[in-house]
Amino acid sequence: MNMTNRLMGFALACGLGLLTLAAGVATRSAAADDSAISPAIKAIQGIWVTSENDTLDAKWAFKGEILETSVNGTEYIGKIKIDDKAKPHPTLDVAISDGPEESKGKTAKAIYKLDGEKLVISVSMPGHDRPKDFEPVPDEVFLFELKKQKKV
């Protein structure tokens, strides 16, 4: 084997080694990110929707710490934070990064209850105080009774 062939073989071996290393790091990083997510956030992962007879048409998609939601056709994206030890109800905060201009950069504060395949969220308008109960208040507090969407 001449020197050129040996150098090419060495370069190929190094390249494959780096690819394998990069793949391993990416896999461990994804696993580390998943393990960093709290059990409370893991419990609500997936897509949640309102029932057909609900006055609000909504879809809430929890993907890790990111929430993508659509309410009556208006889209919001934000990072969530949960305090499942809060009393009298667990709290959910959504730091809105994308959506209507008046909501961007604000936090929508909520309380929630999770019962198996049912998720009830009482959420205030972005930038307002957290609701104290699960009662809607026109133009201030919205109540979402969501059911987990079955995987197809």
Tens-digit pLDDT profile for residues 25-52: 333 334 345 667 899 999 999 999 998 8
Q: Is the peptide bond before 136 cis (omega within 30 degrees of 0)?
A: no
Higher pLDDT among residues 112 and 12, named by residue: 112
The mean pLDDT of the chain is 83
Report DSSP state, residue 86: -
Expressed in percent and rounded to 5, the helix, strand and coil fractions of the chain are 25, 40, 35
Q: Report residue 64's pLDDT band, with 50, 70 and 90 as the boundaries.
A: very high
Question: Between 36 and 67, where is the model more confident?
Answer: 67
The pTM (predicted TM-score) of the whole model is: 0.76
The full set of domain ranges for the chain reads 1-36, 39-148
Mean pLDDT (whole number) for 113-129: 97
Q: Is the predicted pLDDT of residue 119 greater than 90, yes or no?
A: yes
Mean pLDDT of 108-133: 97
Give tens-digit pLDDT for 6-17: 433 433 333 333
Architecture in CATH of 39-148: Beta Barrel (2.40)
